[in-house]
Amino acid sequence: MKAAIYSRLMDEQQKESVQVFFDELSKQNITPLIYQAFLDQIRDTIHLPPDTLTFSSSEDLIEDVEFIISLGGDGTLLDTVALVRNKNISIMGINFGRLGFLAGIGKEEIKAAVKALVKRSYIVDTRTLIHLDADLPLFGNVPYGLNEFAIHKQDVAAMIKIEAYLNGEFLNTYWADGLIVATPTGSTGYSLSCGGPIVFPDSGSFVITPVAPHNLNARPIVVPDDNVISFEVESRSESIICALDSRREIVGKHVALAVRKERFKINLLRLTENSFLQTLHDKLTWGLDKRN
């Protein structure tokens, strides 16, 4: 069995856990394929076989790679989504970050997580993605995201005007700092911090959430994900910011933009049968008020 390993960086305090992880891979006869930049960081501090395999891009993830394991927080896991693309490689996130809403496996569960891959005793969560179409090339070969697409004003520019359409029919005009279109997975991220609702992963929907809207009757709205959502932007600045998850590009304000559901999905792996509600309880501390 072969598994790709991706991480952005390793803190000194994580050294012991990372070593435990690679030792368990060896014990379970899982061949690691390590992201080259990560290997360059750890080769002098982590004991690895001298013939360790590496990869540097999505093109290096060939057919015999069944899994990719993300070591880090949710941002690191979002990077792995961009690497996997439509290759049907399942993603397991081991949390070395803070909240770990997507990378939900704790460092104390490393051995159990590796054993679950061998025994195939994991739970598979299939998640939809959001795809961006534009009249100029944006985000290279990865014009999709797991969490959200967002339009922002640039730096200290005045608020922007965004007209949104559903399948060509006018929806609303937003005078705001920006606008977010989140997937169900992304509804617990940036959209939530801007007042958007949480929706269940299998709800088949998008959440449209304005960022600091000036018109007070502009509220988040949930729409079916079979809609194509398009935008027209007006700004005093010549440029705006487009973001897909943690990736950003600065584009001219006259760019034509539209988002839709991506044609393929990705699989996230977890260890337990915990429901989405249980995840909300654990990560957002629902029900832990002293008055309960």
pLDDT tens, residue by residue, 176-222: 999 999 999 999 999 999 999 999 999 999 999 999 999 888 999 99
Question: Which domain range does residue 100 map to?
Answer: 2-127+265-284
- How many whole angstroms separate alpha carbon 118 and alpha carbon 8? 25
Give residue 194's pLDDT: 96
- pLDDT tens-digit readout, 116-153: 999 999 999 999 999 999 999 999 999 999 999 999 99
**Residue 151 domain-assigned?**
yes
270 conformational bin, left if phi > 0, alpha if psi -120 to 50, beta if neither: beta
Give the predicted TM-score (pTM) of the model: 0.92
- State yes or no: pLDDT of 1 exceeds 70: yes
How many structural domains compose the chain?
2
Cβ contacts of 220-228, under 8 Å, gap ≥ 24: 220/191, 220/194, 220/195, 220/196, 221/171, 221/172, 222/197, 223/166, 225/128, 225/183, 225/261, 226/261, 227/166, 227/167, 227/260, 228/166, 228/167, 228/168, 228/258, 228/259, 228/260
Point out the catalytic residue in the list 74, 125, 177, 225: 74
CB atoms within 10 A of CB 11: 8
11 catalytic residue (yes or no): no
121 found inside a domain: yes
> Is 289 part of any domain?
no
Tell me, what CATH number does 40's domain have? 3.40.50.10330
What pLDDT score does 292 carry? 56
Whether residue 274 has pLDDT greater than 80:
no
Q: What is the model's pLDDT at position 289? A: 67
In the numeric block, the tokens 């990865």 are attached to: 142
Say if 292 falls within a structural domain: no
Tokens of 108: 């104390």
Residues 142 and 23 in one domain: no
Q: Are 55 and 28 part of one and the same domain?
A: yes
User: 44 and 19, same structural domain?
Assistant: yes
